[in-house]
Amino acid sequence: MANAIKIRASLKNDVTTVKALLSHPMETGARKDANGNKIPAHFIKEVSCEVGGKRLLTAYWSGGVSKNPYLSFKFSGGNKGDTLKLSWADNTGATASAEAEIG
């Protein structure tokens, strides 16, 4: 998926705030299309974030999360210029990742 993740990380008072928008349909498998056919489940299962090889966050999701989910969290210990990597994997085996420099 092109541009599947938009991410920004900013440091203020030794706390880094990460904001990310994940482009994904997040289908539960319970909805039907216009013809009455079930739309297959298609959702992000796992989101992870790391800085300098150290895992900061692992989140396990299901079909109950909205389309194009927004994720925001804070952590301490980051430094300006560090590279933050956010990635996800969905229930169909698709993956995406993006990196951002802490500013």
pLDDT, tens digit, 9 for 90 and up, residues 20-64: 999 999 999 999 999 999 999 999 999 999 998 899 999 999 988
Query: What is the torsional sign of CA 80, 18, 1, 91?
Result: positive
CA distance 26 to 12: 32
pLDDT score, position 2: 59
Q: Where are the domains of the chain?
A: 5-28+38-101
Torsion-angle region of 36 (φ positive above 0: left; ψ -120 to 50: alpha; else: beta): left
CATH of 5-28+38-101, one of 2.60.40.10, 3.40.50.280, 3.60.10.10, 3.40.30.10: 2.60.40.10
pLDDT score, position 64: 87
Q: What is the pLDDT of residues 73-97, one digit of tens each?
A: 999 999 999 999 999 999 999 999 9
Residue 3 — very low, low, confident or very high, per pLDDT cuts 50/70/90? confident
